[in-house]
Amino acid sequence: MKTRKNWKKILLILFLAILLGWIYLLGKIFYHSQIDTIEKADSIVVLGASQWSGEPSPVFKARLDHARDLYKEGYAGEIVLTGGVGEGEKISEAMAGKNYLTERGVGGSYIFMEEKGRTSWQSLKTVAGILKEQNLNSIIIVSDGFHMMRLGKMAEGLGIKSYSAPVKIGPVNNNWRAAIKYYIRESVVYVLYLLFKV
């Protein structure tokens, strides 16, 4: 009986430790989502999001609009768009983003695309190669706030100097239920990235 009680205590302590660790991680992700460290850099890198038959989703549009504003304000001379071809789609997220930006006044020669990545890690790894080819080494990362801590960690691991520019106005920011879902998912994905580099 005493042994069973001891095991219950150990399991309870373990559960509480995991719960507190998870709450701490969520707090860190939220903290980083609010940090804007924009400085002039070589490139603006936009993380892809869903597109529907060539039309960027509202989440992707918010990221593209933010990148366009930064480009127009002179923070960088080029934009790198990431995102491959989704299941059932004919064009990549990056191409959908390029079409959207060129229609809004960004010259196509200033837009570069990474179309192979299916995950953030794959995309940034390819971006690192693009930067190396062009002898560039600093980027402004544009994505939603919940994404920023993991992207910054990835960039650091790839030897890229990065600044964060989280989207301030967009579907994720305007819907607290959606935001909670994204933050919870991100906490799981962040741990998977640390463990398996995916």
Instruction: Tell me the domain boundaries of the chain.
Output: 31-196
Q: How far apart are CA 117 and CA 138, in angstroms?
A: 20
In the prediction, which pLDDT does 118 show? 86
Predicted TM-score of the model (pTM)? 0.93
State which fold the 31-196 domain adopts.
Answer: Rossmann fold (3.40.50)
**pLDDT tens-digit map of 39-66:** 999 999 999 999 998 999 999 999 999 9
Extract the residue ranges of the chain whose pLDDT is less than 70: 1-2
> Is 29:189 a contact under the CB 8 Å cutoff?
no
> Is 142:67 a contact under the CB 8 Å cutoff?
yes
Which residue, 172, 155, 185, is CA-closest to 80? 155
How many beta carbons lie within 10 A of that of residue 167, not counting itself? 24
For the purposes of burial, counting CB atoms within 10 Å of the CB of 157, is it exposed (0-12), middle (13-18) or buried (19 or more)? middle
